[in-house]
Amino acid sequence: MTIIDIIKLAALFLSLNLLVFLIYFLDKQAARKGGWRISERTLLTLALIGGSLGAMAAQQLLRHKTRKEPFRSILAAILILHGALVTALAFATLWGPRLLLNF
């Protein structure tokens, strides 16, 4: 993986999280105005597909769905899952080639 590939992935990740933050913002605005709301399932799905940091940032900064259970717990679990996956991928790229050499 080249530095260009890493930059592209980082840009994609940042874009996705900014989009999720914006969607949470729009839902917060709709909640204030009594307008059409985005379903919790959609919000959590967006977090699950990679927007967990944007979702968590929106939740904290916008004070959106901070007391709503089980939404809050599910979002926290998704964030932990993403952290574990990133950690596993980081270690896999570091240790994977070395492990293969030992076999």
pLDDT tens per residue across span 28-37: 999 999 999 9
Residue-level pLDDT at 75: 97
DSSP state of 63: T
**Contact (Cβ atoms closer than 8 angstroms) between residue 42 and residue 19:** no
Greater model confidence, 90 or 86 = 86
Span 20-56, pLDDT tens digits: 999 999 999 999 999 999 999 999 999 999 999 999 9
Rounded CA separation 72/96 (Å)? 35
Report whether 48 contacts 76 (CB < 8 A): no
pLDDT at position 82:
96
95 versus 84: the higher-pLDDT residue is: 84
What whole-number distance in Å separates Cα of residue 88 and Cα of residue 8? 20
Nearest of 87, 84, 66, 85 to residue 75 by alpha carbon: 66
